[in-house]
Amino acid sequence: MQQVDLNCDMGEDAGESGAQSDEALMKQVTSINVACGFHAGDSATIHRTVAAAIKHELAIGAHPGFPDREGFGRRDMLFAPEEVYAMMVYQIGAVQAFAAAQGGRLSHVKPHGALYNRAAKDAAWAEAVAEAVYRVDGSLILYGLSGSEMVRAGERIGLRTANEVFADRMYEEDGSLTPRSIEGAVLTDSAAAAEQAVRMVLNGEVVTRGGKLLKLRTDTICIHGDTPGAEAHSIALRQALREAGIHVSRADQIALN
């Protein structure tokens, strides 16, 4: 039976509505990525999100991003690789401490937004990200865009890696995600997102914006919590995967690499 992890970025809204939305999505996913306070989140929100994840028996990940709350970490910024390394260690450590303080443990790391996209293409940044994860805890799993520089850097340094795909995003022919500024970059139809996800798991392929087939490996599927109708997306996706005979499991329970 084929297996796949479902992950979702959480702890990005400090309000009560954010907490309720996160809790609803936790019923559908197997792994969460907790905002570390740079692009979003704060200490109280990290504490609350980690506690809820432990209650739901989900894999807990750190979701480090750029120090860019105004742009939600989605604006490209220039840093030297050593600065990338330092901001990664700082943010991973924050979520790791909250997990340990509540009797849990950190399972993985998934960079956010523009940091994620840059490290997917830039080998030096990818090396800095992978080294930071490895130095903090070599048993952690590094989540990265399927087939990207970040995944390759993680494999070279000895980390377990999870090739990540996106149910609700359109792809370019080079394997990158279509920029959000382009119309249709985010799939808002639940059925279409679920169909794309099942195809990626079963066939290892996705149809790009230009209509070509792109081959990719799928270890984990991201559901964006801030996509309109995210809960409906997640329910439709779980149902579609189940009907296709695909078992949903935490990444730390799946054979990776």
Query: What are the pLDDT digits (tens) for 48-63?
Result: 999 999 999 999 999 9
Residue 15 backbone phi and psi in degrees, to 5: -80, 175
Percent of the chain with pLDDT over 70: 98
Q: What is the pLDDT of residues 137-175, one digit of tens each?
A: 999 999 999 999 999 999 999 999 999 999 989 999 999
Q: What would the pLDDT profile of 176-227 be if each residue is shown by its tens digit?
A: 999 989 999 998 889 999 999 999 999 999 999 999 999 999 999 998 877 6
- Which is more confidently placed, 169 or 232? 169
- If one compares 61 and 257, the residue with the highest pLDDT of the two is 61
pLDDT classification of 21: cutoffs 50, 70, 90: confident
Q: Tell me, which fold does domain 3-253 have in CATH? A: TIM Barrel (3.20.20)
Residue 228 in this model has a pLDDT that exceeds 80: no
pLDDT at position 81? 97
13-20's contacts with Cβ under 8 Å and 24+ in sequence apart are 13/40, 13/45, 14/41, 14/42, 14/44, 14/45, 18/45, 19/48, 19/52
pLDDT at 123: 97
pLDDT for the residue 172? 95
Question: Can you tell me the distance from the alpha carbon of 211 to that of 110, in angstroms, rounded to the nearest whole number?
Answer: 29
137: which 2 tokens?
A: 């805890």
**pLDDT greater than 80 at residue 15:** no
35, pLDDT greater than 90 = yes
Alpha carbon distance 8, 48 (integer Å): 16
Kindly list the domain boundaries of the chain, sorted by start residue.
3-253
- pLDDT, residue 232, reads 84
Q: Which residue has the tokens 């189940």?
A: 242
Q: Is the pLDDT of residue 116 over 80?
A: yes
Do 223 and 233 contact (CB within 8 A), yes or no?
A: yes
Are the C-beta atoms of residues 24 and 239 closer than 8 Å to each other?
Answer: no
Q: Does 18 have pLDDT greater than 80?
A: no
98-110 pLDDT, tens digit each:
999 999 999 999 9
Q: Return the minimum-mean-pLDDT range out of 15-19, 120-124, 134-138.
A: 15-19
What is the average pLDDT value for the chain, to the nearest integer? 94
Which residue has tokens 């997102």? 193
For the chain, give the percent of residues with pLDDT over 90: 84
